[in-house]
Structure 1
Amino acid sequence: MSGTHNTVSLRENALQLGPRKKSSISDPLVSYGRHFGRTVHALANVQALITNGLLRMGELSDSPDVFFTAEQRREHKVFDTLMQSVPGLEDRLMNGTEEDVAKIVELIQKGASSARSDDTKSVKGPILEWITPHGQHLTPPLSRNVKVDRGFHHERTGKLLCSAGLDWNNQEIKQRLKSGEVTIAGDQWPVFLYRDYQYDSEDPWKGLFQSSLLVKAFKHIFTSPSSVEKEPTATRAGNARIHGMTRVTPASIAYVATQVRFALSSSSIFSRTDTVTDSERFYNSVLELFEDPDEQNEVDDLLVWWNRQIFPSYSSAKRTISKDSALAKIRERRAAMKAAAASASIAAQTGHGHGPQGIGGE
C-alpha cells in the first residue's frame, strides 16, 4: 500500500451479489448464512467480504479509518456483524488454511443464496391473498405459480408497484409502464411501501415502510406463514426464534421489501443483472436511507413500530423519546443542572469561586 493514496484499494465490492455455489454438506454455517442474508446483508459477496475483512484485521489493521472510503467502512461494519453473529468464526478464519476459509465462504454464501431463493418461492403464491381487498376477487385472476401477468400488466399489482409520486390513474402513465416504454429505477420507491398505500409528498416519511403488506410478508418469512393472520404460536419455530432474533433489523425490513417488490413484479427469476426489477439498486437504496445519520430519529421510531408488530413482548418502554417532548426537555434541563453543579464543585475545590447554592432545589 502506498502512503500517497488516500484510500486503501481492497479487492471486489463485498456488498454485491456473489457467485452461487452448491454444497452437498449440511453445516451450521449454512444456517448462519441464511440468517445473515435475511437480517444483515442479502446481496453480499461473502468471498470479497471475508477477504477484505481479513485484510483489515491483518496487514491493514494499523490504517486509520480516514484511509478507507465510506463504502469500505460500511462493508467492514457488515463483516464485523458477521463475525459477531457466528460463534468461533473469527478463530476459524484466522487459524484455518486457505481451503478452510474457502469452505467457510462457500457455506455462508450458500445459506444466504438459498434463503433468498426459498423466500422468493414461498412469498410468490400467498402475496396474491394479501393484496386482494377483503371480500373481493382479483380481476382478472392471477396465477400463484406463473408471474407473467403481474407487474404493470395487472391493475392491482401495477398500482402497488407504481412509483410514489406517479399517478397510476393517469392512463398515459399506465400505458407507458405497461408497454415498458417507461421503466422505474430501483431507487424510485413504489407506493406499496406506505401505510394504506398513501404517499404524502409534503411528508415523505409519513407511513413509509409501514404497509400491512410488508408486515404480512415479514411475519411469513420470519415467524411463520400461519402467523400472518394471527399471533405466532410456540408449536413451530420460525426463522426468528431459531436464531434468537428478538428485534427487527433495518436490513430485514429492506430484505422483506425487496422480496415483496419482486413478488409483485412480472419477472420470473431474481437476478442482479435484471434491469427491469432493478432489485439490487432498490435494496441498497433502502439500506442507505436506514444508515443515513441525518435520518436516525425517523429510523429509530420506525424500528420501534416494527418491533411492536412482529415481537409482541417488545416493551413499550423502549420507545424512542421525541426531541421536543416534555420528557426530553426535563432530561435536558436535568443534564444542564448536573453540569452546572459539577462546574461549581470543581471551582470550589480549586479555589476559583463558589458555585450557586441549592441547585435544583436539593
Structure 2
Amino acid sequence: MSHVEDQQNEGNTSEMHADGDSEGSTSHIKNRLDGGNVQPQQSQAVAAHVQALQRRKIAQLEEKLEALQSGRAVKERQTVWYVAKERAIRRVITLFDSIEDLVAKNDRRYESEDPDNTIEQDRLQIGYATLARTLPWFFKKGSEMEYEEYMHMLKMLRQGADGTRADDTSKLKTLISEWVNREFKLVSLVDPDDKHSRGFTHDVCGKLLCPAELDWNSPEVKAGIRNHSDGYIVTDLSFPTYLYDKYTTNPDDLEEGLFKGKILIQGYKAVFTSPSLAKDVDGDGDSADVISNNRQAKKSLSRIKVKKHVAQIIQMEKVTPRSIAYIACQSMDGDFDYEQFWRTIVDFFERAPGREAQRRVERLLKWWTRKVFGRNRQGELSDAMKANMSVNALARQREQCDDTVFDSP
C-alpha cells in the first residue's frame, strides 16, 4: 500500500512536474512569440529613422542647390554687367590694349625715373586716364577684391571685349551696304555677304575707300589699286575718302572736311545710339536731344523696360577721339594695319601740333557731339557769355538796386 501510494505520489509529482514543465514551456513559447513581435517593431523604428535621415539629407541638398542656383544667378548677372562695361573699353578707351596692360604700363611709368616719355607711353597714359573716367568703379572694386575674384572680374571683362568688335563689324557691314545703296541709288547693289560686290572691286565702294591723295576717277589709279601695283598700295598711311565731308578732299588742305563723312557719322550713331537714328544725319543735330529724349522715355514708361543704347549704358554724353577712331576702323579694306590706323586717328585728336590745331580739334569734337547726341550748347558757353545772359544780368541788377537803396540816406 505504502509502495503503491509512493508510486502514486511520484506519479502525481511527475504530473505536477509535467504540468510545471508544460506551463514553463507555454510561458517560454509565449515569450518567444512576444520576442517575435519585437523584431518588426524594431524594423519599423529603423525604417522611420532612415526616412528621417533621408529627409534631412534631401533638405540639405535642396539648400545647397538653392545656394548654388543663387550663386549662379549672381554670377550670371555679374557676367552680363561686366560684359556690358567691357564693351565700353573697346569702343571708347582702347581697341587693342587690355586693361591689365593699361594698369601695368601706367604703374611702370610712375616707377620709372626717366622723365621723357614716348608717344606710345603718352597714348597709354591717356588710355589709363580714360579708363578711370569711363569705369570709375573698376579701381575701387579691384582694390577690395581677393586675387581670384579680381581675376574672375578681368575674365568677365575680356569676354565682353572679345565679342564687341566682331558684333559691330557684322552689324555695320549690313547697314553700310544699305546706306550706300540708298544714297548712291545703285543699280548694281552692294551685297554685304558677297565680297565681290564690296571693296575696291565695286566702283562706289572703291571711291569711298580710295586714299585721299589719289583720284579714284582716274582709270590708272583705279587699275593700280585693284592690281596692288607699286605706288597704289592702300595702307594705314592714307586717310580713305569716306572719312571726308561729301567724300571729297582738298589736296592742298587735307584737314578740310576730315572726319565729317556721312557714312562715318551714320556708323557712329548706329553703334552708340541706334540704327534708326543713323538714317538721318544731314541736320546739325541742334533740334534733337538723344540723351534727354531717352531719359523722358524712361520716366514716362517707368513700368515698361526701356532698352538703353550704348552711350547711356556707359554714361557717355560727348563724342570722344577714341570712339571716332573705333568706328573708322570698322570699314577699311586693303593691306591695312588696323592697330596703327587706330593710333594715327587717336594721335590726330590727342597730339595736335599747336594751339590753333588744338582749337580746330575741339571745334570738331563739339560738332560731332551735336551731330550725334543733339546736345544743347550750354556746355560750350564761356563764363563771360553766361554772365551777360538775362538771368544772370537780372540777378546782378537786383543786387545792385538793393545795395543802392540800402546805401541811400
TM exceeds 0.5?
A: yes
Matches of residues 294-309 of structure 1 in structure 2 within 5 Å? Answer: 294=353, 295-309=357-371
Deviation at 1:27?
4.2
The equivalent of 2:20 in structure 1 is none
Work out the CA distance in 2 between the residues paired with 1:88 and 1:213. 34
Work out the CA distance in 2 between the residues paired with 1:319 and 1:155. 45
Deviation at 1:300?
0.4
Equivalent position to 1:315, from 357, 373, 377? 377
Distance 1:166 1:316, change over 3 A: farther
Paired letter, 2:327: V
The equivalent of 1:258 in structure 2 is 329
Distance 1:284 1:84, change over 3 A: same
Asked if 1:122 corresponds to 2:171, the answer is yes
Equivalent position to 2:85, from 32, 51, 54? 32
Work out the CA distance in 1 between the residues paired with 2:197 and 2:326. 24
Deviations along 1:72-103, one digit per CA (max 9) or x if unpaired, are 23212212321332243213334544434433
Give SS of 2:197's match: coil
Distance 1:309 1:319, change over 3 A: farther
Work out the CA distance in 2 between the residues paired with 1:184 and 1:135. 23
Deviations along 1:234-263, one digit per CA (max 9) or x if unpaired, are 36421112222111011111111111x23x
Deviation at 1:280?
1.7
The equivalent of 2:210 in structure 1 is 162
Work out the CA distance in 1 between the residues paired with 2:121 and 2:347. 14
Give SS of 1:79's match: helix
Give SS of 1:37's match: helix
Paired letter, 2:374: P
**Structure number with larger C-alpha Rg:** 2
Distance 1:316 1:214, change over 3 A: farther
Asked if 1:214 corresponds to 2:264, the answer is yes
The equivalent of 1:6 in structure 2 is none
The equivalent of 2:95 in structure 1 is 42
The equivalent of 1:241 in structure 2 is 312
Give SS of 1:66's match: coil
More deviation in 112-121 or 95-104? 95-104
Distance 1:138 1:276, change over 3 A: farther
Deviations along 1:275-312, one digit per CA (max 9) or x if unpaired, are 72322221111111111132311110101110111111
Matches of residues 120-159 of structure 1 in structure 2 within 5 Å? Answer: 120-132=169-181, 134=183, 136-139=185-188, 141-159=189-207
Paired letter, 2:85: Y
Distance 1:200 1:123, change over 3 A: same
Matches of residues 274-285 of structure 1 in structure 2 within 5 Å? Answer: 276-285=335-344
Work out the CA distance in 2 between the residues paired with 1:150 and 1:40. 30
TM-score, normalising length from structure 1?
0.70
Asked if 1:193 corresponds to 2:252, the answer is no
More deviation in 23-32 or 81-90? 23-32
Paired letter, 2:154: V
Paired letter, 2:226: K
Work out the CA distance in 2 between the residues paired with 1:98 and 1:54. 18
Matches of residues 48-59 of structure 1 in structure 2 within 5 Å? Answer: 48-56=101-109
Paired letter, 1:298: R
Give structure 1 stretches of 5+ with no counterpart.
Answer: 1-22, 266-274, 321-326, 328-362
Give SS of 1:122's match: helix
The equivalent of 2:390 in structure 1 is none
Quick check: 2:181–2:190 contact (8 Å CA) kept in 1?
A: no
Distance 1:124 1:315, change over 3 A: same
Asked if 1:102 corresponds to 2:102, the answer is no
The equivalent of 1:19 in structure 2 is none
Work out the CA distance in 1 between the residues paired with 2:346 and 2:184. 36
Paired letter, 2:240: P
The equivalent of 2:58 in structure 1 is none
Deviation at 1:54?
4.2
Deviations along 1:180-220, one digit per CA (max 9) or x if unpaired, are 33421112111111100110122222111011111111111
Asked if 1:184 corresponds to 2:234, the answer is yes
Work out the CA distance in 2 between the residues paired with 1:210 and 1:81. 24
Work out the CA distance in 2 between the residues paired with 1:217 and 1:151. 17
Work out the CA distance in 2 between the residues paired with 1:247 and 1:126. 23
Give structure 2 stretches of 5+ with no counterpart.
Answer: 1-74, 281-287, 295-305, 386-409
Work out the CA distance in 1 between the residues paired with 2:233 and 2:347. 22
Deviation at 1:55?
4.3
Give SS of 2:361's match: helix
Quick check: 1:38–1:112 contact (8 Å CA) kept in 2?
A: no
Distance 1:310 1:112, change over 3 A: same
Work out the CA distance in 1 between the residues paired with 2:132 and 2:378. 30
Deviations along 1:143-172, one digit per CA (max 9) or x if unpaired, are 222334311111011011000010112212
More deviation in 237-246 or 118-127? 237-246
Work out the CA distance in 2 between the residues paired with 1:304 and 1:161. 26
Give SS of 2:329's match: helix
Give SS of 1:26's match: helix
Quick check: 2:237–2:341 contact (8 Å CA) kept in 1?
A: yes
Work out the CA distance in 2 between the residues paired with 1:256 and 1:124. 12
Paired letter, 1:251: R
Work out the CA distance in 1 between the residues paired with 2:325 and 2:184. 30
Deviations along 1:41-85, one digit per CA (max 9) or x if unpaired, are 12223332233234456xx2xx45715433223212212321332
